[in-house]
Amino acid sequence: MKVKPLYLAMLVLLMGQLTACSSREDVQAATVESATPLFMLSEDGVGPLNASTPFNLVRIGDAFQEFNVVEETSASSGDNNRVITVKQQVKPLLTINPDFQQKHIFSVIVHDNLVGNQLGHALGTKFAEIYTPQSLEQCAPGVDDWAGKVMCYAPKNTNILYLFSGSTPKVTDAVPAPAAMQDWVLEEMVWKAPVKK
């Protein structure tokens, strides 16, 4: 009989701790403040990946030896496209997309704040905290897996793009006005290899 009050007290204490970090945004924000980035997103690439890195599972696996590196097939837009994912245990960190010849890296998608950003913006940051009317970059509506979202170039950068999501207004074939996206949040960051000349 004495076990029940102790069990109840422990349950109440545990529930109090769980409600302290009740939302994904709170957990993501806590991760941002407490964790040192595992590697950085920059104009030149993501961690050891850059425009000269071949799209090769073994080479990319060698670059990320302490992580799970897996080649997968993405069925986006009806095509079977190969991608390489980098995970910390089961948590997705990066998705690496090949160029059309499947020889080099075309883009790297950042999924988690364990990857730092040299521009200083973290996933979960609001649109209004990144752009001002004077610093707004070119934006376009998302397509395929990113339909309903908006992709914008990072401030003063042509190799980094930011994917924003929000509940309203609904995105179709046009980008909403910047004033309507003030509370939209940065969902993913994309490094795109520069066009070879």
Whole-number CA gyration radius for the chain: 20
For 24-192, which CATH superfamily applies? protein yfey like domain (2.60.460.10)
89 burial level (CB within 10 Å; 0-12, 13-18, 19+): exposed
Q: For 103-130, how does the pLDDT look when each residue is reduced to its tens digit (9 = 90+)?
A: 999 999 999 999 999 999 999 999 999 9
Residue 21 to residue 27: CA distance in whole angstroms:
6
pLDDT for the residue numbered 76: 59
User: Which is higher by pLDDT, 80 or 28?
Assistant: 80
Q: What is the mean pLDDT of the chain?
A: 82
pLDDT of residue 173: 82
Half-sphere exposure of 55 (CA within 13 A, CB side): 22
Closest CA to 151 of 117, 186, 180: 186
Mean pLDDT confidence for 4-30: 36
More confident residue, 97 or 19: 97
What are the extents of the domains in the chain? 24-192
Flag whether pLDDT at 26 surpasses 70.
no
Q: Which residues contact 71 (CB under 8 A, 6 or more apart)?
A: 57, 82, 83, 84
Give residue-wise pLDDT tens across range 35-76: 789 999 999 999 999 999 999 999 999 999 999 999 998 665
